Chains A and B, each alone.
Chain A
Amino acid sequence: MNGLLTIAGRTLRSRLILGTGGFDNHEVLAEALAASGAELCTVALRRLDPGARGSILDVLTDTGVEVLPNTAGCFTARDAVITAQLAREAFQTDWIKLEVIGDDRTLLPDAVELVAAAEQLVDDGFVVLPYTTDDPVLARRLEDVGCAAVMPLGSPIGSGMGIRNPYNISIMAERAGVPVVLDAGVGTASDAALAIELGCDAVLCASAISRAENPVAMASAIRMAVEAGALARAAGRIPRRHYAQASTPEEGIPVFDAPGAS
């Protein structure tokens, strides 16, 4: 694993993608973006609010971060496809973080609608990055229809529950022919490091940073965790063992015999 992440031919130096949801205001977002080192961040589309002060796009232009629009809030392939097409118009990018939600309590993806939407969007020329479950078979289906990456959840969006099935995430990372981006569930820095150690190519993180007590400090922490995870993975971890393996040589251990000692 080198220092660069390549998705659909685009090279990114940072393996951290920032989700912009949940920040209290644009000022904190701008500071967190800078602290995160992210070169790509998500944005969403909603009915235009004539009373809104300032655009998030001004913040992003000032910080030089590029946008990855999402289809958040879509429950059907039809709505997700229309939303993606609107995002392409609004942001002048073919890249789309595809979300098709199947349940409003868990916000888990709807696998059937997701694959259908992904296929239509790929055919329409989009670079599709789908938010998906931690199912290696579904990841393969998404790859087969032409997605540029797969973005499995570690646990539900905003739950901060970390990676509940590290085994599946590592299988996905091992088998995928496209980058794997851990996309939900990160609660703190160690979760992000684990994602990369398990083989993910990048981490997308919103709530863990935006809703932290100190979002800017957490952005730095998660940036370092992602870098640490990449270094650790490249360095090669030791195998897990059931029993201890002494690190000090056993050869030359002295024997403290004394005459008369029992």
Chain B
Amino acid sequence: MFEIFGIPSQALFGQLLLGLINGSFYALLSLGLAVIFGMLNIINFTHGAQYMMGAFAAYFLLNGIDILVPHFTGTWPPTFASVHFGLGLSYWWALILAPILVGITGLVIEQVFLQHLRKLDPLYGLLLTFGLGLVIEGLFRNAYGSSGQPYQAPAALQGGRNLGFMFLPNYRAWVIVLSFAVCLATWFAIERTRLGSHLRAATENPVLVRAFGFNVPLMVTLTYGFGVALAALAGVMAAPIYNVSPQMGTDLIIVVFAVVVIGGMGSILGAILTGFALGVIEGLTKVFYPEASNTVIFVIMAIVLLIRPAGLFGRRA
């Protein structure tokens, strides 16, 4: 064991690895935001609430949900009774189903609210999504209080291995691997495939793309749904680590926005790389100067905005 700047290497590598885990969440969430902004020109402040919904969806899929069901007994108004719908679906099912379910709510939001804001200033989209986020969080907090619900990691991922410098739980290693894979797949799909090229073209010049016969409104709606599904996937992955609580989104989303700004709004690669990098930087700060760990990302954001206002990888708008 050697020392770097007076800190034992063991502590350093341990915190770096933990920082990478945080960075995985930052990367996934900022990827969703970048995809949505790139395609819809909307700053999706509901992202945090959708991340939270993904975690709750995983919780409901496993533990069931109590829904007030009206009983029509002939008299009006009908009486309401609480009915328990339980499915007992494990984490692995939730990884696939939760993003789909929450993605569908995203499609609904896009169709009902966001499509009317397409021609307007992005500020309107920001306000609308911010309000939606508050409403969703308020509804969940009303129903579930603000202390968290526990969610167990799946049996296959429990336990851990001793890396020498730290003990890494298997579940956290899985988080890094899965988020890296998802980020890579999304980047590849958007930047290197035909479908991705259609999406990018539709962003640049929707009228021309439409003239070629592509259904641009459908692409936009589905892209929003996909961005929301990414947030929900991050939520499912977060459920075993952080408690499933209504404010888990708000705690995280401010930092994620800073990450997106640093990486450059609309740049897919920028969002991914910056997410991981800033997670690692936050981890390093925790070793050398823990009191600053909450603020270091914002300090970096301020510096980047001064030097390169479009972000590190952003294109000049």
A and B interact: no
